[in-house]
Amino acid sequence: MNAYVDTVESPAGPLAFAVDEDGALIRLHFVESDHGSVMERDLEDEGYAVSTDKIRTSGVREELSEYATGRRTAFEVPISFAGSDWQKAVWLELTRIPYGETRSYGEIADSLGRPGAARAVGRANATNVLPLVVPCHRVISADGSLGGFNGGLHLKTRLLDHERQVLGGRGADEA
């Protein structure tokens, strides 16, 4: 298995990301996260041969750059989910949260037909290796507080602020 890595700037600082041979996004990592994990090492631990290929990563790089400048509110790049059926269901549901909006962990659980599974939604969020594209930053606690975020609450705040600012600068029909 091959993984091709690249970096791009974002409202939450530099992002490192990796795509597979077909150009599907397999990993995204906030370089300034609270966790010292090195994406390349994690990929190698999973059996990937890691290299660079700007052509293979160009589609993802372009969409992430468009998000960073406020020109993109939804991602179209192919993504590759690796997880349990529950995790995949949660992650897919996260992709349905509109840009600039939030949902609570309980609301996500309810939408998946699992009322009372808010903590399980939180655990699935914590294992999301495609943050931003699978927008776990848009999931908050029922009381309106930010809850958790794998990269750190400072990054979650930056992303939510970015989306609000972009929406504030254009009409609703343009978003």
Would you call 95 a catalytic residue per the annotation? no
CA 81-83-87 angle, 5° bins: 95
Spell out the alpha helix ranges (H) of the chain: 39-45, 54-68, 85-94, 105-111, 118-126, 153-168
Q: What's the CA gap between 125 and 103, in Å, rounded? A: 13
Query: What is the C-alpha to C-alpha distance for residues 87 and 89, in angstroms, rounded to an integer?
Result: 5
Burial 50-72 (b: 16+ CB within 10 A, else e): beeeeebbebbbebbeebbebeb
Return d(Cα 139, Cα 108) in angstroms, integer: 8
| Marked catalytic residue, from 64, 108, 129, 136 | 136
Active site residues: 136
